[in-house]
């Protein structure tokens, strides 16, 4: 309901872990079919009076949970085969192997522990799981070293243009796909922009053209880009779909593209941006990708 989906973020990881544990226990009960959608639907009905937004986003919530169950069932099959193979060959599972099962096959540590407990075993040298995890995190930090806030690789002229174009793209996606779209992540370089957002399906060819046309019209219209500072609580009321809420300070900037009374785009952002969209050129979508359960990625360029 709040936009959190199964992912590698802290909240997304917790949600993914809860869904996957439920799937694991469902398999133990030998239900024999996918079931999380039915349970989630019952929960939505029970709590609809407390959180009316559950009804508004009911189908989207159910689709995300169902897709995570389907995805986990596939990875779990491979993971369980690998676990059984290691037990047969080595006679045990150590922390390093447990991390491999998690990183490669998506089997959470607690699921590996539960399976081993059922066999009267435990994870040997469990500390090596934390060591492997820290090494993996350090590699991730190293890979992202030098990145600026907002996913910018630098503050060159082209990167600033692509940053502004990312705002235009997000607004266009919301117009074409719906209000469930928000920025899950971005990576912006002088060569291209990359935007991650929640949606069940990739855009159709018709939708790609619609998005490109909307963005290019906003560029051709020569819309001014401006900002105002607001207290965080007030800003989040004006931009309810804002991502990364926990990273905001007490006062934040809201960037508007177009007339502030009826803007084309309005987002919480630290900048930097061009002063007018006419500086951007022609926008074109290069590629779409699936990067997770219900998460899509678009790469685009300015020509």
pLDDT tens across 93-145, in order? 999 999 988 877 777 788 888 889 888 999 999 899 888 888 877 765 544 44
- Which pLDDT does position 146 carry in this prediction? 41
Task: Give residue 123's pLDDT.
Answer: 92
Structure tokens given for 143:
């890979």
Instruction: State residue 167's pLDDT score.
Output: 95
Q: Which residue has the tokens 């226990």?
A: 25
Name the segment(s) of the chain with CATH classification 3.30.980.10: 149-302
CB atoms within 10 A of CB 96: 15
Nearest residue to 214 via CA among 171, 268, 256, 182 = 171
Name which of 140, 133, 122 is nearest 96 in CA terms: 133
User: What is the predicted pLDDT for the residue at 246?
Assistant: 47
Mark the ranges of the chain whose per-residue pLDDT is less than 50: 142-148, 245-246
pLDDT of residue 147: 41
Is the CB of residue 255 less than 8 Å from the CB of residue 270? no
pLDDT at 248: 61
pLDDT of 281 = 92
What confidence score (pLDDT) does residue 43 get? 92
Domain 149-302 adopts which CATH fold?
3.30.980
d(CA 249, CA 252): 6
Token reading at 186: 């971005």
- The pLDDT score that the predictor gives to residue 184 is 86
């Amino acid at each position: 309901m709040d936009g959190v989906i199964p992912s590698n973020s802290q909240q997304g990881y917790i949600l993914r872990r809860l869904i996957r544990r439920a799937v694991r226990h469902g398999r133990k009960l030998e239900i024999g079919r996918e079931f999380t959608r039915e349970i989630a639907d019952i929960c939505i009905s029970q709590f609809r009076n407390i959180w009316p937004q559950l009804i508004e986003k009911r189908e989207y919530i159910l689709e995300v949970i169902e897709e995570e169950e389907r995805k986990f069932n596939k990875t779990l099959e491979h993971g369980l085969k690998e676990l059984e193979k290691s037990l047969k060959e080595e006679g045990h599972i150590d922390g390093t192997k447990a991390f491999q099962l998690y990183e490669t096959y998506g089997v959470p540590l607690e699921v590996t522990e539960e399976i081993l407990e059922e066999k009267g075993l435990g994870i040997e040298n469990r500390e090596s799981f934390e060591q492997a995890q820290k090494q993996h995190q350090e590699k991730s930090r190293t890979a992202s070293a030098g990145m600026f806030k907002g996913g910018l690789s630098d503050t060159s002229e082209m990167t600033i243009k692509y940053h502004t174009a990312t705002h235009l793209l997000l607004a266009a996606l919301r117009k074409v796909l719906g209000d469930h779209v928000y920025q899950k992540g971005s990576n912006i370089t002088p060569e291209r922009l990359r935007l991650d957002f929640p949606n069940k399906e990739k855009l159709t060819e018709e939708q790609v053209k619609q998005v490109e046309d909307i963005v290019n019209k906003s560029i051709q219209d020569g819309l001014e880009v401006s900002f105002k500072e607001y207290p965080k609580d007030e800003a989040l009321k004006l931009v309810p779909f804002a991502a990364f809420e926990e990273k905001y300070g007490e006062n934040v900037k809201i960037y508007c593209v177009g007339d502030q009374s009826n803007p084309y785009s309005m987002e919480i952002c630290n900048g930097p941006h061009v002063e007018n969209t006419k500086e951007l050129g022609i926008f074109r979508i290069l590629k779409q990708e699936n990067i997770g359960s219900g998460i899509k990625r678009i790469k685009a360029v300015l020509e």
